[in-house]
Structure 1
Amino acid sequence: MTETGRVYRLIIADDHELVRTGLRNLLAPEPDLEVVGEARDGQEALELCRELEPDLVLMDVRMPRMDGLEATRRIKRENPRVSVMMVTMHESESYLLEAVRAGAAGYVLKDTPRQSLVNAIARVLRGESPLNQELAMHLIRRLAEEGPRSSQPPPFSGWELEVLRLLSQGYTNREIADILAISVGTAKVHIHNIICKLGVSDRTQAAVRAAELGLIPPARE
């Protein structure tokens, strides 16, 4: 699935046992994905992340004790290496905005077909964003319309700004490389530099931070 030969460790966080079991069964056929823990709420998810240090958490939004958004904030603050993907029944731009601001690398619906879910997980584990272009542009539009939150963005080269613009629209590494007529390896280098300069942990957060800094203009309707 991820073409790396390693097995990735996942935690499923949802207050409904039926949902947790369903997700576990959906992922069982994938040899490079291992569900190492299940959490009934955000607090348990946080504690399991401290204990197990997974690669990815599949996180529900609404849960008792601590919701998925707060759990994501705390997980990313304590261990930025852990990726979080929201798996929710709420198809809401507001939830999407709050999820990525909390640190989520992706956002998918619970009724997403199995292969689409697996593909989204693979993209997160590759450091990409599983947000589709329409959702990504809605998000960037909302953030950009709020205006810059800082007047001191780090310096970027012209190439990096072009890559950042495309990254923020949800394009994959391959698509960015094709559009800019560069190699995939060069695109990855630019994305790595962008993430480092912005001080974030993944490309989704890079897009959020760039919009907050005013580096991405509001999209035209």
Structure 2
Amino acid sequence: MENRKYKIIIIDDNQAFINAMKFLFSKRNDVEVIGEANDGVQFLKLIETVKPDLVLMDRILPGIDGIKLVKTAQEFGYNLKILGVTMSDDPTIHAQMNQSGFIGGILKSQFFEDFDQALKKIENNETYFPILI
């Protein structure tokens, strides 16, 4: 991995998950959390002001779900790399995420086991969906 710091936004309706991610990322030198949101509306407002390298987005959100939110962000012209995080290990769900514009999808339960591999793939403009392999 090249020596850079990735600017990340976390969007999840579970504030405890966001807080855990922020704490764990604070121990890393290659990641900086530059924003957070608990729903799609907050996220759309946030990306007007910050420019992340990567968005970590829960698939299920209040209001606009993650799959619709990715499409909405694309329609507004935002070219974002969005890594989906989900509790679901259903391959159909991960295929939907892949088809809707997520650059990857990882399980929350496997997040830190899979994150570095996902980041390497994303650096190379490849997708990362280990459930679909």
**Counterpart residue number, 1:16:** 14
Contact 2:106-2:114 within 8 A present in 1 as well: no
Q: Which has the larger radius of gyration?
A: 1
Seen in structure 2, the aligned counterparts of structure 1 residues 64 and 32 have a Cα distance that, compared at 3 Å, is same
TM-score, normalised with respect to structure 1: 0.55
Query: Using the alignment, how far apart are the partners of 1:123 and 1:93 within structure 2?
Result: 19
Do the aligned residues in 1 keep the contact of 2:94 with 2:129 (CA within 8 Å)? no
Runs of 4+ in 1 over 3 A off after TM superposition: none
The answer (yes or no) to whether the contact 1:56–1:125 under 8 Å persists in 2 is: no
Number of the residue aligned with 2:26: 28
Whose strand fraction is larger, Structure 1's or Structure 2's?
A: 2
Aligned to 1:54: 52
What is the 5 A alignment of 1:1-221? 2-3=1-2, 5-77=3-75, 78-80=77-79, 82-132=80-130, 135-136=132-133
TM-score, normalised via structure 2 length: 0.88
Indicate the RMSD between aligned Cα atoms, in angstroms. Answer: 1.7
1:133-174 CA-partner distances (Å, limit 9, x unpaired): x614xxxxxxxxxxxxxxxxxxxxxxxxxxxxxxxxxxxxxx
Is the CA contact (8 Å cut-off) linking 1:42 and 1:71 kept in structure 2?
Answer: yes
- Equivalent-residue separation in structure 2 for 1:49 and 1:122 (angstroms): 23
Taking only the aligned residue pairs, the percentage that are identical comes to: 29
Aligned mates of 2:122, 2:94 — CA distance in 1: 16
The structure showing larger relative contact order (alpha-carbon pairs under 8 Å, at least 6 residues apart) is: 2
Instruction: Give 1:200's aligned residue.
Output: none
How many aligned residue pairs are there?
Answer: 132
SS in 2 for 1:10: strand
Structure 2, unpaired ranges of 5+:
none
Contact 1:26–1:114 (CA<8 Å) still a contact in 2?
no
- What letter is aligned with 2:64? M
